[in-house]
A and B are shown apart, each in its own frame.
Chain A
C-alpha cells in the first residue's frame, strides 16, 4: 500500500489538475510500461500551463514538411501484403494509391497515419517517426477512413464544431457548410442523413482541421458526381496551397490529373 500512500499524498499536494498531473507523474515515474511511451505531447498540453517558453516559438524553424517511407513492409493476418515500399512526398504533391481489393491500401494509409505499425521499415513526417509525433506535428495530419467518425445523435453542426474544437481548426464553418451544400441540414441529426450526405459531413470534419497532410481512404465512395468534383477540386487546391495528400481510391481517372506520384500495390 506504500505506493498508494506516497502517490496519494504526492497527488494531493501538487496536483494542479488531476488529469494533467497523472500524465506528468506517470511519464516520469515507475510505470513506463503502462504509460506505453506516451507521445511527447503529454507535457506540451494545449493551454501550455508549463512556465517554459511556448513551444510554438521553437517549432517555427522545424524541418520541411516531407512524408518519407523507407522499405515499408506490411503484414496482415500472417500474410505479407507488400514489402520494400519507398516513396517521398514533398509539399504540394499528391500521391494516389491504387490496387485491387485486399492489396493493402487501407492498411498502408493506417500505417502512414501512425495508427498501425508496419512490420518493417519506417514512416517519418518532418524527419520524425510517425508514431512518436508531438503535439504540433500531429495537428498537421488528418486521416479519413471508411468510417465517417460522426455521432449519429449529434446534428451536422455539432459534429463539425466538435472536430473544430478538438483539432482547433481555423476553417470557418459557414462557408464549409455552403461548399458542401449542407446548410439546409445543419440542425438535422446525422442519423437522418443519407450515406452520401454523411460522407460530405465527414469530409467537412476532415477539412475543418486545416491540416497539412491529408490521408484519405476512398474519399469518393457514396459521393455523387458533384461531390466527387468538389473533393478533387479541394485536393488540387490543397496541393497548390503547399499541402500534401495521399489518396487511396478506385476511381483513378477522376483524381489522376492532380496526382504527382502513383503507388500501385
Chain B
C-alpha cells in the first residue's frame, strides 16, 4: 500500500512544495559536480577522434541536450496524462514547469547540432540529417504546447486541454522520428553517411555519461525550482502559502 499512499501524498501542494525545496540543493550539487567533471573529461582527457579531430567534442553537449529535450517531453506528457486522469493539480504543475525547460534544451540541441555540422558537412543546417529534423519537430511540439496553454485564461481548462495535446504529441513523436529517419535514408547524400556516429571508445564514453547525469541533475534542479514557483502561482491565496511566506519573510 506504500506506493498508493506515496502517490496520493503527491497530490497535496504543501507536501510537494517541501519535497521540491529539499531536492533543489541536492540536484544543484550533483549537476555542478558531474558537469564540471564531464566537461573536463570531454575537453581535455578524451582523445581526439581520428576522423573528426576535436570537432567531435561537441557531442558532449549536443547529445545530452537532445536527450534532455526528449526526456522533458515524455515527462511532460506522462505528468499531464496523470493530472488529466486523476485530476491532480500538481501533475499539471509539473507539466507546466517541464515545458519551457524542454523547449530550451531542444533549441540548444539544434544549435549545437548545427555548430557541429559546420566543420563536418560544411553547412550549419543540414536538412537531410534525420536527428536535426526530428529535433526541429520536437521543438515545434513544445512551442505548440506552450502557445496553446498560454491562450487559455481559465487555468483548469488550460491544464486539461494542453494535457490532451501532450498525450497526442507523445504518441506522434516516435512516428515523426521514424518517418524522418526513413526520409533521410531516402535522400541520404554520400557526404552524411560516412560522418555519422563516430565510433565511441571507452575513454570517450565516460565523459559522455558524466555529462548525461550532470544535465539530468541540472534539469531536475530547475524543474523543482519552477515547480515551486508554479505551486505558489496556483495556491497563492491559500492559508499554507501565506503562512509559509509571511513566516519566512517576517
Contact = CB atoms under 8 A, between A and B. Distances in A.
Task: Say if the two chains contact directly (CB < 8 Å).
Answer: yes
Interface of A: 1, 32-34, 36-37, 77-78, 117
A33 B81 contact: yes
B81 A77 contact: no
B237 A36 contact: no
B16 interface: no
A78 B237 contact: yes
B178 A36 contact: no
B167 A33 contact: yes
Contacts of A36: 84-85
A33 B85 CA distance: 6
A3 to B, nearest CB: 9
Contacts of A117: 87
Nearest to B77: A33
B178 A32 contact: no
Nearest to A1: B178
B197 interface: no
B154 interface: yes
From A33, A34, A77, A117, name the one whose CB has the most chain B CB atoms within 10 angstroms: A33
A122 to B, nearest CB: 14
Given A33-B84, A36-B84, A36-B85, A77 B167 contact: no
Interface in B145-174: 154-155, 167
Given A1-B178, A78-B237, A32 B85 contact: yes
The 8 closest A-B pairs by CB, nearest first: A33-B81, A33-B85, A33-B167, A34-B167, A33-B84, A77-B154, A1-B178, A32-B85
Contacts of A1: 178
Interface in B208-250: 237
A36 B178 CA distance: 28
A173 B164 CA distance: 41
Contacts of B87: 117
A217 B149 CA distance: 31
Nearest to B155: A78
A82 B105 CA distance: 44
Contacts of A32: 85
Nearest to B237: A78
A37 B87 CA distance: 12
12 contacts: A1-B178, A32-B85, A33-B81, A33-B84, A33-B85, A33-B167, A34-B167, A36-B84, A37-B85, A78-B155, A78-B237, A117-B87
Nearest to A4: B175
B212 to A, nearest CB: 28
A1 B178 CA distance: 9
Nearest to A77: B154
Given A33-B85, A36-B85, A78-B155, 8 more contacts: A1-B178, A32-B85, A33-B81, A33-B84, A34-B167, A36-B84, A77-B154, A78-B237
A193 to B, nearest CB: 32
Interface string B67-110: 00000000000000100110100000000000000000000000
From A1, A32, A34, A117, name the one whose CB has the most chain B CB atoms within 10 angstroms: A34
Contacts of B237: 78
Nearest to A119: B156
A36 B167 CA distance: 12
A36 B155 CA distance: 20
A126 B231 CA distance: 38
Nearest to A117: B87
A157 to B, nearest CB: 36
A77 B167 CA distance: 26
A34 B155 CA distance: 21
Nearest to A35: B85
A34 B237 CA distance: 33
Contacts of B154: 77
Contacts of B178: 1
A36 B163 CA distance: 12
A37 B155 CA distance: 22
Contacts of B81: 33
Nearest to B236: A78
Contacts of B167: 33-34
